[in-house]
Amino acid sequence: MIISLILCLCLTAAPILSDASNVNDSLVIAIQLTKTPLVRPLEANERDILSIYDLVYESLVTIDDNYLPQPCLCTSWEQSSNGKTWTFHLREDVTFSDGTPLTARDVVATAQAILARANDESTVSKGFYANLRYFVSSISASDSYTVVVRAERSYYGLLYAMTFPILPEDRVNADDPPGTGPYIIDVFRPTEFINLKVNTNWWKNLPQVKTISFQVCTTPKEVIESYDYARVDAAFTRSIAASQYRSGVNAFAMDYRTRQLDVLLMNQSADRLKSLNVRKAIRYAIDVDRIAKNIYMGMVERTDTPAIPGTWLYNDDLSSYFVKNVDEARRLLEADGWGDSNEDGVLDRLNDEGKLVSLNMNLYVYEEPEDNVRIETANFIKEELAVVGINVSITTMTFTGIQEKLSAGAFNLALVSYSMDVVPDYGFMLMSGNTGNYGRYHSSAITDLWKNMRKSATTMAEYQQGLMDIQRIFAEDCPFICMFYRKGVVLTRLMYTTVRDVREYELLRGIQSFKP
């Protein structure tokens, strides 16, 4: 699976618990939009518009608070042919907002449009749902309410890929197509505001909140100012400026986990990092918890593996691998032959040619102009590694520059982020030769596990066991250091949801069923 690496990150605010009123029949929210001129749900490329679309368009499958797939526009599904065929049974009481009945043909047409775009070599932007191509070989309607999917892989992960918005068959490529969700887009002025109103044809009980208005801003600063000056009831932000609301008394700050996973890459094609002892020593030397607390002010969700912490996907039995231990770091380096022969504080040893080499490493970092947390993190890492005798030089690069270094394998260490997909599959960053495996990590055990999972893990239990085994090998092999998933924050004076897992791209999740 190919998932893009992203390196531009924004800091977000920590949660607060405070008094706020329950929402009544309307809500006004500040959002940031700059690249969405039309309502095209399959072409969304901005975070906040996806949260709007989430209320207008629904999918076959939804993901619950426990990060498990549940029926939405379908009532059930079953698999056959060892997971190569999945059959979804649609609800028969659903219409689009214009009154047109939902049928299997709408699901098929929407999926085929996504696949056509994703497989078009001439198209640069493959679309937000392009990963569907890795799971669906073909899709068809056996009758008006039955969808049959031929899978690329016999794989439980396919259910997560079926979370794309369903559009009417004849309006898949039209502007502002109707949806089946609880709201419709009533007014769309992308440089000013967007208004939603209740979809009176929704197949569930109508929401209490009848209208939702979005004030469009072009910068994070404008979003915060709109909230600060009470021009809106709520604001979606990932800006560090939101930290001022941590101790507010008349608002909620609801943290949400983004899909951005921050990691410290270690290039195993670099001579000094081929050694497992050196990689483990680096992991033992760095106190990631301090980075999370002191630099990011707790506005992250710590994770030791690429899996989502706090879910059934995460292996909780591996914590002993990830505790800071300076003595153990020094022991591992000494066992690898490193010592300080000239007492300059930097470890050294004789190489195969009898030449004295020092334990020097470069650390590449990309930083957005408005934030310096990434640079602070790099400097912290440099200081931590110096304690155990590893000398680090930091180079701040452009986005393009660091991409080139990663692709060429011309680095030792790099602070980067991965944009993770809704499908909990991170083989792209661990399997030998895969596009996202920038550290040149090679493990036949992990590669075989992923391949076998993608061929035969068709149940939750099989999938979970595979992920547990993969994370165990990850902990033992230390291919890179996972630090945390970044968080965003919803600032709001009005409580509008009671769901446990408000998450990126679904920031209004639960508003349709909220009851004060």
Domain 8-257+488-513 has CATH 3.40.50.150: no
Give the per-residue pLDDT at 188. Answer: 97
The DSSP secondary-structure symbol of 14 reads P
Q: How many CB atoms lie within 10 A of CB 196?
A: 24
> Across residues 309-322, what is the average pLDDT?
94
Instruction: Give CA–CA dist 92/90, Å, rounded.
Output: 6
pLDDT reading at 74 higher than 90: yes
Count of alpha carbons within 13 angstroms of residue 123, beta-carbon side = 13
Number of residues that make up the chain: 516
The per-residue pLDDT of the chain, averaged, comes to: 92
- Give the rounded distance of the alpha carbon of 352 from its chain centre: 43
Instruction: Give CA–CA dist 373/417, Å, rounded.
Output: 13
> What confidence tens digit (pLDDT) does each residue in 161-217 have?
999 999 999 999 999 999 999 999 999 999 999 999 999 999 999 999 999 999 999
pLDDT reading at 240 higher than 70: no
Give the per-residue pLDDT at 299. Answer: 83
Count of alpha carbons within 13 angstroms of residue 85, beta-carbon side = 9
Give the per-residue pLDDT at 158. Answer: 96
> Across residues 373-398, what is the average pLDDT?
96
Give the per-residue pLDDT at 42. Answer: 96
Give the per-residue pLDDT at 9. Answer: 30
Give the per-residue pLDDT at 11. Answer: 29
Instruction: Give CA–CA dist 73/92, Å, rounded.
Output: 9
Contact assessment for residue 314 and residue 322, using Cβ atoms and an 8 Å cutoff:
no
Angle at 148 between CA 143 and CA 151, to 5 degrees: 170
Per DSSP, helices labelled H in 356-398 are: 373-387
> What confidence tens digit (pLDDT) does each residue in 34-69 have?
999 999 999 999 999 999 999 999 999 999 999 999
Instruction: Give CA–CA dist 342/347, Å, rounded.
Output: 9
Give the per-residue pLDDT at 83. Answer: 86
CATH T-level assignment (fold) for domain 260-486: Dipeptide-binding Protein; domain 3 (3.10.105)
pLDDT reading at 8 higher than 50: no
> What confidence tens digit (pLDDT) does each residue in 104-159 have?
999 999 999 999 999 998 888 889 999 999 999 999 999 999 999 999 888 999 99
Q: pLDDT-based confidence at 344, cuts 50/70/90?
A: very high
> Across residues 336-349, what is the average pLDDT?
95
Give the per-residue pLDDT at 108. Answer: 98
pLDDT reading at 345 higher than 50: yes
Q: pLDDT-based confidence at 2, cuts 50/70/90?
A: very low
> What confidence tens digit (pLDDT) does each residue in 422-447 have?
999 999 999 999 989 999 999 999 99
Give the per-residue pLDDT at 16. Answer: 36
Element (H, E) at 278: helix 276-285
Give the per-residue pLDDT at 1. Answer: 38
The DSSP secondary-structure symbol of 154 reads -
pLDDT reading at 515 higher than 60: yes
Q: pLDDT-based confidence at 82, cuts 50/70/90?
A: confident
Q: How many CB atoms lie within 10 A of CB 233?
A: 22
DSSP-assigned states of every residue in 284-314: HH--HHHIIIIISTT-EEE-SSSSPTTSTTS
Instruction: Give CA–CA dist 98/177, Å, rounded.
Output: 10
Give the per-residue pLDDT at 183. Answer: 98
Considering only the C-alpha atoms of the chain, give the largest distance between any 2 of them, rounded to a whole number of Å.
Answer: 81
Give the per-residue pLDDT at 145. Answer: 98
pLDDT reading at 18 higher than 70: no
- Give the rounded distance of the alpha carbon of 356 from its chain centre: 44
Residue closest to 51 by CA, chosen among 487, 507, 490: 507
Count of alpha carbons within 13 angstroms of residue 86, beta-carbon side = 28
Give the per-residue pLDDT at 253. Answer: 85
pLDDT reading at 223 higher than 80: yes
Give the per-residue pLDDT at 10. Answer: 33
The tokens for 282 are 């680096």
* Torsion, Cα of 326, 332, 333, 339 (10° steps): 90
Domain boundaries along the sequence of the chain: 8-257+488-513, 260-486
Contact assessment for residue 443 and residue 480, using Cβ atoms and an 8 Å cutoff:
no
Q: pLDDT-based confidence at 369, cuts 50/70/90?
A: low
Instruction: Give CA–CA dist 123/311, Å, rounded.
Output: 36
> Across residues 331-358, what is the average pLDDT?
94
Tokens 């689009």 sit at which residue?
Answer: 96
Beta bridge partners of 487: 257
> Across residues 356-362, what is the average pLDDT?
96
Instruction: Give CA–CA dist 155/460, Å, rounded.
Output: 10
Give the per-residue pLDDT at 12. Answer: 33
